[in-house]
Copies of this chain bind each other. A is one copy, B any other.
Amino acid sequence: MAQYVFFFGDGRADGGAEGKNLLGGKGAGLAEMVRLTIPVPPGFTLSTEVCRYHYANGRRYPEGLEAEVRASLAEVERLVGAKFGDPTNPLLVSVRSGARVSMPGMMDTVLNLGLNDATVKGLAARSGDKRFAYDSYRRFIQMYGDVVMGLKPENAQERDPFELLLERKKEQRGVELDTDLAADDLAELAVEFKAEIAQRLGQTFPEDPWQQLWGAIRAVFGSWENPRAVTYRRLYNIPSEWGTAVTVQSMVFGNLGDDCATGVAFTRDPSTGERRFFGEFLPNAQGEDVVAGIRTPHPISRAARMPTDPLSLEEVMPRAYGELCEVYQRLEHHFRDMQDIEFTIQRGKLWLLQTRNGKRTARAMVRIAVEMVREGLLTKEQAILRMEAQKLDELLNPMLDPTADKRVVARGLPASPGAAVGKVVFSADEAEALAAKEERVILVRMETSPEDIHGMKAAQGILTARGGMTSHAAVVARGMGKCCVAGCSVLQIDYAAQQLTVATPEGRLVIKRGDVVTLDGGRGEVILGAVPMTAAALDDNYHELMRWVDEARKLRVRTNADTPADAQTARAFGAEGIGLCRTEHMFFEPERILAVREMILADDTAARRRALEKILPMQRGDFLEILRAMEGLPVTIRLLDPPLHEFLPHTETEIRAVSDALQIDFQTVQRKNESLHEFNPMLGHRGCRLAITFPEIYEIQVQAIVEAACELQAAGVHVLPEIMIPIVGHPKEFVAMRALVVRIADEIIRVRGVPLKYTVGTMIELPRACVAAGEIAEAADFFSFGTNDLTQTALGLSRDDSGSFLPAYIEQGIFREDPFVAIDREGVGALMQIAVGRGRARKPAIKLGICGEHGGEPSSVNFCHQLGLDYVSCSPFRVPIARLAAAQAALASD
């Protein structure tokens, strides 16, 4: 029979830190401390398996659970020396949730459980503090009435009924503070609270502690599926099947007098990583009081105390403080990581209530790890593996103050990193107008188009409801180095009303034009109000860590960069080449778009060629600068990829400009424009298909690349251009494209007499290319996996349209993660595996890389390492993350 209940106490625990999935973070930490003989109030944990059973079986419990609970509670009673429900010496317990990962405040807690009209008297007698006992009692009824019985205000206008009774009582007594109420007042309140429950709910408050306990357990399990928790899980990609554990623990009290206290502490500074004991406490208080911030807490150590601060714990309770120091050092040494602990001192005795690896800033993460290596606590390898790669983001971009409170109200795609604060506006024109008045604005659009460029330039950041990581908004924002959250499909934008609506854990929220929001482009978060910012800073610890990382990794790391500025940034971040330089983005600039439109709308090859001749010198200039910036390193340049109609004119003025330039009448241009409409542009006339029908497009691009490369090479700048063909499905397609490239390139090289080497390879971004990879490899110098498009085609899933159903897929656990964020290993990954196998079988030396957005996502980098790719390529600010992830992958597979 499975074990459902896990006891801990008095140096004996069923399970420990390794059992986090089963016991939840809280339960596992408590059990582990007990094993270390650290003083922890005894208790027991109902495992997450009970939660899963509970939901899978019509909210019933597995057989035998009750007996296990009874047995464990008896053991607690024995250790505490008190009895559950005993009127003279009652045992009180807390009932708390505990998921694998912390979900602060999202689920329910019940404290002081076990109190009733009889036991409250026993508590008063045993504690010698009647006011304490009745205050605990009325708090328990209030909490139980709310959390378990469900007595809440019926609407947003109504006030909490318990609070109303409390207010009335204070009015009656003519006092202002809760603490001014006497023990008898509180006893009266307990009666009134129970009457209120009976009247409003038609059920009576249960006096039986066992009934109380099962009610609380059911409520805590139930809170796993409350709307707040569900929304939170969606925001943080936490699978609903994980479930929560429930920990029942005997109560200790930090509010029984001046020899009592409660506090929280970090074993090192979570903000800077400095090695110092760091925490706060309150004398004569309950744990909740520290967190709630009603009273200002005091520093724990004398060293941290400012002259105006009250006395530290070290000074007022030196013995307990000494014990605490001994405990924290043991915990840190045991977990080999910085710990976040909660403690209570009850009548001089120290009790630990929680320990977990502390949350920290990226800077602290790096410093702690590097210093722990120096201290001999960790090896370099352990330090690297300990890193949360994704978190380096914070170090690399100007960032939101990690210590600030943030109310995240929505999550979209982290389309362009960085952070931005500003007033919401819904049109590009208004963004420009307000920016002209030195206002900071966030431009919010359903999606952006080239017509919005001026507004995007003017805005601090861009937020769109539609579109993916390669949408117009995302691409342009990254090009501008502006923060962007894209495809935030939970936003309902109403242009007419100039507002947006979004469902949050706290209910529907309306954000109006002019309201201030903060965007976190690295996390894809939309945050209400202005969050303070801190500048990026790379310190010596970071550089030391990255040296270890580079020694450990096997994958090379390149960058996706379309501009010289991006290329330089990436190089500074350690990029070892460009893995993807997208030529089409160069075409979006206003002075070029007309020539591009001429090209697209030309009716014959001659007119198309004339337009292309205008583009040639501009493209050559682009390549000159990018190749120069990457001197000595390989640069993969992808020829034109997107559907031509992405560049089409939209407005009458734009169509007229093209018709003038081409000297073709307006109607003809308009008709042609319309005829280029496609039902499924993602699967349309794009990539090398453009060059199969209009070879001159690629011919001019190759000319621009090779002329630029020759010019640099002749001037002594060593360049390594790699020309990449997109949307190849059939080996013959690639062979034809390779022939085109070689014909143009070799002629230029011959005429100029410059010894230029170049290679020709292909994107692997269609399932057909994966299965035909063997034949393609025979003609190709390299493959670069375009996992964005490969995900779309393999899954038959348009990223831009997936907003209406992908969230349901993730919520229902069909996909563990958004497949556009982390590579879908069993699907897309399986196709990649086929491609790698077939490609290498025919050409063992073929160079293999990835240039989809996944190339900068740690778990995907790990997968690429396992596949045996040669390199990953990612956006400049993700290069260090990819380096770190590559090192972790190499170490993990050793």
Residues on A facing B (Cβ under 8 Å): 678-685, 689, 692-693, 727, 729-730, 732-733, 736, 765-768, 770-772, 775, 789, 792-798, 800-802, 804-805, 808-809, 812-815, 824, 826-828, 830-831, 834
Q: Are B683 and A792 in contact (CB under 8 A)?
A: yes
A-B contact pairs, 20 of them (CB 8 A): A678-B798, A679-B798, A679-B800, A681-B801, A682-B683, A730-B815, A730-B827, A732-B813, A733-B809, A733-B814, A736-B812, A765-B796, A766-B796, A767-B831, A768-B794, A771-B827, A771-B831, A772-B830, A789-B796, A793-B794
Residue of B nearest to A826 (CB): B772
What residues of chain B lie closer than 8 Å to A798, measured between beta carbons?
678-680, 682-684
A796 CA to B814 CA, complexed, in Å = 24
> Could you tell me the distance in whole angstroms from the C-beta of A375 to the nearest C-beta in chain B?
45
> Could you tell me the distance in whole angstroms from the C-beta of A808 to the nearest C-beta in chain B?
5
> Could you tell me the distance in whole angstroms from the C-beta of A835 to the nearest C-beta in chain B?
11
| Among A680, A732, A765, residue most surrounded by chain B Cβ atoms (within 10 Å) | A680
A298 CA to B732 CA, complexed, in Å = 52
What residues of chain B lie closer than 8 Å to A792, measured between beta carbons?
683
Q: Are A682 and B685 in contact (CB under 8 A)?
A: no
What residues of chain B lie closer than 8 Å to A814, measured between beta carbons?
692, 730, 732-733, 736
A796 CA to B795 CA, complexed, in Å = 11
What residues of chain B lie closer than 8 Å to A775, measured between beta carbons?
826
Q: Are B683 and A681 in contact (CB under 8 A)?
A: no
What residues of chain B lie closer than 8 Å to A770, measured between beta carbons?
767
Q: A680-B683, A730-B815 are in contact. Are A768 and B795 (CB under 8 A)?
A: yes
> Could you tell me the distance in whole angstroms from the C-beta of A672 to the nearest C-beta in chain B?
11
How many identical subunits does the complex contain?
2
Q: Are A805 and B772 in contact (CB under 8 A)?
A: no
A800 CA to B831 CA, complexed, in Å = 26
Report which of B684, B805, B828 forms a contact with A689, defined as CB distance below 8 A.
B805
What residues of chain B lie closer than 8 Å to A809, measured between beta carbons?
689, 692, 733
Q: Are B801 and A679 in contact (CB under 8 A)?
A: yes
What residues of chain B lie closer than 8 Å to A793, measured between beta carbons?
767, 793-794, 796
What residues of chain B lie closer than 8 Å to A800, measured between beta carbons?
679-680
> Could you tell me the distance in whole angstroms from the C-beta of A685 to the nearest C-beta in chain B?
5
Q: Are A808 and B771 in contact (CB under 8 A)?
A: no
Residue of B nearest to A771 (CB): B830
A110 CA to B793 CA, complexed, in Å = 53
Minimum-distance CB pairs A-B, first 4: A767-B767, A683-B798, A680-B798, A768-B827
Q: Are A683 and B796 in contact (CB under 8 A)?
A: yes
What residues of chain B lie closer than 8 Å to A805, measured between beta carbons?
685, 689, 692-693
What residues of chain B lie closer than 8 Å to A804, measured between beta carbons?
684-685, 693
Residue of B nearest to A728 (CB): B796
Q: Are A801 and B680 in contact (CB under 8 A)?
A: yes
Q: Are A834 and B771 in contact (CB under 8 A)?
A: yes
Residue of B nearest to A682 (CB): B680
Q: Are B827 and A796 in contact (CB under 8 A)?
A: no
Q: Are A801 and B767 in contact (CB under 8 A)?
A: no
Q: Are A678 and B797 in contact (CB under 8 A)?
A: no
Q: Are B693 and A808 in contact (CB under 8 A)?
A: yes
Q: Are A828 and B682 in contact (CB under 8 A)?
A: no
Q: Are A684 and B789 in contact (CB under 8 A)?
A: no
Report which of B685, B693, B795, B827 forms a contact with A801, defined as CB distance below 8 A.
B685
What residues of chain B lie closer than 8 Å to A824, measured between beta carbons?
768
Q: Are B789 and A768 in contact (CB under 8 A)?
A: no
> Could you tell me the distance in whole angstroms from the C-beta of A64 to the nearest C-beta in chain B?
27
A681 CA to B792 CA, complexed, in Å = 12
What residues of chain B lie closer than 8 Å to A789, measured between beta carbons?
796
| Among A733, A797, A808, residue most surrounded by chain B Cβ atoms (within 10 Å) | A797
A809 CA to B765 CA, complexed, in Å = 19
A824 CA to B830 CA, complexed, in Å = 21
A585 CA to B685 CA, complexed, in Å = 29
A794 CA to B796 CA, complexed, in Å = 9
A766 CA to B826 CA, complexed, in Å = 13
Q: Are B678 and A801 in contact (CB under 8 A)?
A: yes
A683 CA to B799 CA, complexed, in Å = 8
Report which of B689, B736, B796 forms a contact with A768, defined as CB distance below 8 A.
B796
What residues of chain B lie closer than 8 Å to A736, measured between beta carbons?
812, 814
> Could you tell me the distance in whole angstroms from the C-beta of A227 to the nearest C-beta in chain B?
16
A814 CA to B729 CA, complexed, in Å = 10
What residues of chain B lie closer than 8 Å to A730, measured between beta carbons?
814-815, 826-827
What residues of chain B lie closer than 8 Å to A733, measured between beta carbons?
809, 814
A733 CA to B684 CA, complexed, in Å = 28
> Could you tell me the distance in whole angstroms from the C-beta of A465 to the nearest C-beta in chain B?
10
Residue of B nearest to A809 (CB): B692
Q: A796-B768, A814-B732, A828-B768 are in contact. Are A801 and B683 (CB under 8 A)?
A: yes
A809 CA to B736 CA, complexed, in Å = 11
A789 CA to B797 CA, complexed, in Å = 12
> Could you tell me the distance in whole angstroms from the C-beta of A830 to the nearest C-beta in chain B?
4
A519 CA to B457 CA, complexed, in Å = 56
What residues of chain B lie closer than 8 Å to A765, measured between beta carbons?
796
What residues of chain B lie closer than 8 Å to A685, measured between beta carbons?
801, 804-805
What residues of chain B lie closer than 8 Å to A729, measured between beta carbons?
794-797, 827
Q: Are B771 and A801 in contact (CB under 8 A)?
A: no
Residue of B nearest to A678 (CB): B801
What residues of chain B lie closer than 8 Å to A681, measured between beta carbons?
679-680, 801
Q: Are A727 and B796 in contact (CB under 8 A)?
A: yes
What residues of chain B lie closer than 8 Å to A689, measured between beta carbons?
805, 809
A830 CA to B802 CA, complexed, in Å = 28
> Could you tell me the distance in whole angstroms from the C-beta of A102 to the nearest C-beta in chain B?
27
> Could you tell me the distance in whole angstroms from the C-beta of A474 to the nearest C-beta in chain B?
14
A816 CA to B291 CA, complexed, in Å = 71
What residues of chain B lie closer than 8 Å to A801, measured between beta carbons?
678-681, 683-685
Q: A678-B801, A771-B827, A789-B796 are in contact. List 7 more A-B contacts (CB 8 A).
A: A683-B792, A683-B801, A692-B814, A693-B805, A729-B827, A767-B831, A768-B824
Q: Are B772 and A794 in contact (CB under 8 A)?
A: no
What residues of chain B lie closer than 8 Å to A683, measured between beta carbons?
680, 682-683, 792, 796-798, 801
Residue of B nearest to A808 (CB): B693
> Could you tell me the distance in whole angstroms from the C-beta of A155 to the nearest C-beta in chain B?
21
A802 CA to B815 CA, complexed, in Å = 31
What residues of chain B lie closer than 8 Å to A682, measured between beta carbons?
679-680, 683, 796, 798
> Could you tell me the distance in whole angstroms from the C-beta of A679 to the nearest C-beta in chain B?
5
> Could you tell me the distance in whole angstroms from the C-beta of A264 to the nearest C-beta in chain B?
40
| Among A767, A795, A796, A798, residue most surrounded by chain B Cβ atoms (within 10 Å) | A796
> Could you tell me the distance in whole angstroms from the C-beta of A841 to the nearest C-beta in chain B?
14
Residue of B nearest to A471 (CB): B679
What residues of chain B lie closer than 8 Å to A813, measured between beta carbons?
732
What residues of chain B lie closer than 8 Å to A812, measured between beta carbons?
692, 736
> Could you tell me the distance in whole angstroms from the C-beta of A136 to the nearest C-beta in chain B?
44
| Among A681, A730, A792, A812, residue most surrounded by chain B Cβ atoms (within 10 Å) | A730
A815 CA to B772 CA, complexed, in Å = 14
> Could you tell me the distance in whole angstroms from the C-beta of A319 to the nearest C-beta in chain B?
56
A830 CA to B770 CA, complexed, in Å = 10
> Could you tell me the distance in whole angstroms from the C-beta of A598 to the nearest C-beta in chain B?
19
> Could you tell me the distance in whole angstroms from the C-beta of A109 to the nearest C-beta in chain B?
33
A804 CA to B808 CA, complexed, in Å = 36
What residues of chain B lie closer than 8 Å to A678, measured between beta carbons?
798, 801
> Could you tell me the distance in whole angstroms from the C-beta of A170 to the nearest C-beta in chain B?
44
| Among A802, A827, A828, residue most surrounded by chain B Cβ atoms (within 10 Å) | A827
A824 CA to B730 CA, complexed, in Å = 10
Residue of B nearest to A775 (CB): B826
A679 CA to B772 CA, complexed, in Å = 28
| Among A682, A727, A813, residue most surrounded by chain B Cβ atoms (within 10 Å) | A682
